[in-house]
Structures are given as structure tokens and as C-alpha cells.
Amino acid sequence: MTFDSLTFAVFLAFVFAAYWLTPGWTVRKVLLLVTSYVFYAFWNPFFVALLVATTAFDWLMGRALARTEAVRMRKLMLAGSIAVNLGALGFFKYAQFFADTAVDLARTVGVTFQPMDLGILLPVGISFYTFESVSYVIDVYRRKVPPSRSFLDYGLYVTFFPHLVAGPILRYGDFSPQCVVPKRFAEARIGLGAALLMIGLTLKVAFADLVFAPVSDKVFGAGTLSVADAWIGAASFSFQVYCDFAGYSLCAIGTALMFGFRFPSNFESPFGSIGIAELWTRWHISLSSWLRDYVFLPLGGYRNGRGRGAVNVMITFVLCGLWHGAAWTYVVWGAVNGAFIVAERIVRDRVWDFTRTRSPLLPWLLAFATFGLFTLAVVFFRAQSLGHAGQVLLAMAGAGSSATGPVLTVQEATLALVLGACVLVAHRLSVNVKGWDWLDDVHPAFATALLACATFAIVSSPGLGPAFIYFQF
């Protein structure tokens, strides 16, 4: 069940009506928890048991941590909880990857094994809800948040259906206060939530699926590429993954608002950024802030000098890449982003702090250059293998095999370039805009246009098109 399906439209209408017609606050939360499990069961009902088990384990572990004062025991309990959570994630997501890597390594020393197909299915959303559970246990251990006394509230924090499958990655300290005060229909931001849902659907279906995905698929599926085709295809994937994932995030945020819950913003005009470091403060914010708080800073950040700080950046981004997928292409993608940030910091510290320019034109040029670097890195994210990524990058540099002819038609290339340019300009113009509260004051004509786009999105994509990209993570 995806946000752009008629099935979800029916599901949302039923849950929305039942929720607001139910008088008791506790009963409403039970309703949301049960329907969230139903929502997850549409993907694979057998993994609901895993979700319930890990949720119960971490809830009990949080309460046990709060009751324990012995430092050594608390550390052991924290380590055990993290080991269980990451162990489950590692088994389902990385067991096949490590098995394949072991076979490849053995082959390099002359030992041949048959490839092993472990047949392990990946539970949808496990990367997201695992990070939420880990952050909760760590925050309880640090005594930043009190342990949840209510399994209902903690279960809703982990499984609330708008964010369950692909985020945003919530923090318990932000979500739990929202479970205390009963929601009132008159005070809920239902109109704003519906508008965000409409915008999200439009980004996903009208932009990502209908414009950018066909172009990137065509280019990355071709044998030889011209420089123009390679760059347009890679840039189209950059726009595709943004429209796809930002669209999902807006659908999640908007849906939650319709029930009176507020989720944090997950994208804030990332392609208006000056530098890769700034871009990562605006791109998948819930993940980048999670990695900062639970990986980079515990490693020491920049507290122990620039050299150690650069190592910490690389470790963090390699793990970021590995989190995205069990393949070396994702690992290299993370490492490339980390290397860009390290190089950028060296330039800013020793050569030129380009973020402090007063020129009105230079920030635009730097934002476009930043997008170019992002696009170079994203080739590894999209490519089928490291070799395939190398071929595309060589074509982008004009050093690849001679293309026999253009891969893209003039119409495909023009539409992708024009729409992509509109996204870049919109991001640069809105780089200082935070949140979406400004939508409350939009002109009725604009709201009508959004409704028309959302209707088109739902009708044209009855759940049979490509799923949201981040569902595989």
C-alpha cells in the first residue's frame, strides 16, 4: 500500500473518519496503533511479528535502563539493546551482501565457492524503525528523555503508519509529548496536512515518475553515452530521487498533520545549498541529524583536531552509504560525499570561505556547482555496479566509448532540463524559507491547482507504478 494508490486513499479515508469520530483519546491511539499494524501487514503480514517483538524489547529495555543505577550494568544493557537492533537489521539487510563479498574475496585467492542465495526477505522500513529504536534507547541511557511508561505511546512512536515505511526518522523526545494531550478536530491542521499530501503526490507521480525516471532509466540502461546524455541522465536521477523522497516525506508529514501530529521537516530546499556540507543539513534531515548525534559526535566530531575530524566525517558517511543499501556502490557514494565535505572544509579554512561572499550572483553559481558535485556522486547511487558507475562518469567527462547516437530524444531532454532548472531556481529562491506554515495563506486558486494535481496523481497511479525509491532501504 503506497501513498499514491487508490488502496491508500480508501484506507486513509476510513482511518481519518474513525479517528475523529472516536471520543476517547486512549481509544483513538489504540485505533492508530492497530491500523498502523494493518498498514504494515499489507507489505508482509509475517514481519508484523518482528515489528511488535523489537518494539516490545526496546520498550522494556528503556524501562530497565531507567531503574538501573550501576554504570557497568547500564552500559551492558545499552550494548545489548543496540546489538539486538543492529543484529536484526544486519541479518535481514546485509547477510546476503556479506555472503556474496566472502565468495568474491575467496575467488581472488583462487578458492571458488558457489554463490549463496540465502533467500532472505528484507522487511520494509526496517532501516528507519531500527534507527528510531536505537535513538530512543541511547537517549534514555543518556537520561535525555524519560523512559516511556506507556507501551501504547511507544508503539505508536515506532509504528505510526505515515512514517513507518520510509521516515522521517522521529525522536522519541519530540513525539512523546504529542501523545499526552488529546487532539481536537477544530485545532488540527487538516487543511495544511491535505495540501502537503497533495504536493507530495504531485512531486512523486507528476515529476519523479513521469518526467525524470524515464530519462534516468533510459540513460543508465544504455550501453554508450554522449557527454550530454550522461549529464542529463545523472542530473535527472538527482531530481528524481529528490522529488520521490521529498514527495514521500511531504505525504508523511501531511498525513500526520491530518491526525493532529507534527513531524519534523525532512527536506529544506537542498539544491539551493552552497556546498555539500550545507546540502546535507537540508537533505534527508532526519537521517543526517541522526548520524551527527549518534555517530559523528560520539566519535569525537572535530574536537580532536582537523585530521581526526576528517576521519570521523569519512566513517560517518561510509556508514551512511551502507545504511542506504547492501552494495559497494552505496558505500562508495557515501565515501564520495564524505570526501567532498572534507575537501570543502579544507578550502574554506585555508583558501577561501565561499559561504561568506557578498556577490549577488556568486551564490547562484556556487549552488549550481554544488548540484553538479551532488550529481557526480549520485551516479554511484544509481549505477548497477562500480564498473557501470565508472562508465557513466567517463562518459560525463567525455572520455568514454563513442556513442552511436543520442540516447534521449529532444523532447525528453528538453522537458527534463526545463523542469530541473525550475527546481533549482525554486530551491535557491526559497533557501531561507523554513517549514510549510506559509501554505495556510496561499491563494484559493493555487490550492485548487494543488487539488487538481493530486487528483491526477492518484488516478494516474493506481499503485502499480514504481514504488517510492526509499522503500527498498
Q: Which residues are catalytic?
A: 324
Cα 79 from Cα 68, distance rounded (Å): 14
> Could you tell me if residue 332 is left (phi over 0), alpha (psi between -120 and 50 degrees) or otherwise beta?
alpha
Give whole-number Cα distances, 325 to 40, 50, 241, 274, 318, in Å. 21, 20, 15, 27, 11
The whole-angstrom distance between residue 465's C-alpha and the CA centroid of its chain comes to 20
Cα 44 from Cα 430, distance rounded (Å): 40
- Closest Cα to residue 382, out of 402, 396, 368? 396
- Closest Cα to residue 149, out of 74, 65, 67, 59? 59
Give kind and range of the element (H or E) at residue 381: helix 362-382
First-to-final CA distance of the chain: 16
Cα 316 from Cα 277, distance rounded (Å): 13
DSSP 38-92: HHHHTT-TTHHHHHHHHHHHHHHHHHHHHH---HHHHHHHHHHHHHHHHHHHHHH
**CB of 276 within 8 A of CB of 344?**
yes
